[in-house]
Amino acid sequence: MITITVLVLFTTGATLNNHTNNTSTTIQEQRTNTLTDKMLQTEFTRIHQLPYSEYQCRQKADLLKTYIRKYDKTGELYTVSIPHKNGGYSHVYVEYRGYAYDPTSTPTNKPLYHIDKKLWQQQLEAWGFTGQPIVRNGWEGET
């Protein structure tokens, strides 16, 4: 019984640390940010240009969030789902380091890139969304 408990605790500890080498020394996940604004703009534009019939707001937001996370392990990053006031549907966009990025919406043919969150909330409310997230999924940044 004692041997099983010790093995379970040891295994659980290794699983929680998630990264170990052969000598049982924990290796920390490298927290870096190599994402440049040019890289982000280029990928944002690529995702924005994907056809809506194949990539709706959820898919585009997830693609952008995944790309950002690949290069920036330190920043606050979320996909945010906001319901429409009529309750029939919702919209999903990305919040990154306190700004909104919406690769789907194109008011006046200008993608919504790096928009102040307060201005973005006002725009969402003007379009009939509640402004209250129903789902925020992501990372709070470096701890």
| Angle 93-47-107 from CA coordinates, rounded to 5° | 60
pLDDT at site 129: 92
In whole numbers, what is the pLDDT of the chain averaged over residues? 78
Return the bridge partners of 102, or none: 112
Domain ranges of the chain: 1-30, 37-139
Backbone angles phi, psi at 55, to 5 degrees: -130, 100
Residue 19 tokens, joined: 């990264």
Which stretches of the chain are assigned E, i.e. beta strand? 77-83, 90-96, 99-102, 112-116, 135-139
Q: What is the pLDDT of residue 138?
A: 81
Burial 124-134, CB ≥16 within 10 A → b, else e? beeeebeeebe
- The 10s digit of each residue's pLDDT in 5-57 is 333 333 333 333 334 344 444 444 566 889 999 999 999 999 999 999 899 99
Q: pLDDT-based confidence at 77, cuts 50/70/90? A: very high
- Of 138, 21, 14, which is closest to residue 76 (Cα–Cα)? 138
**Cβ–Cβ contacts within 10 Å for residue 39, how many?**
14
pLDDT at 79 over 90: yes
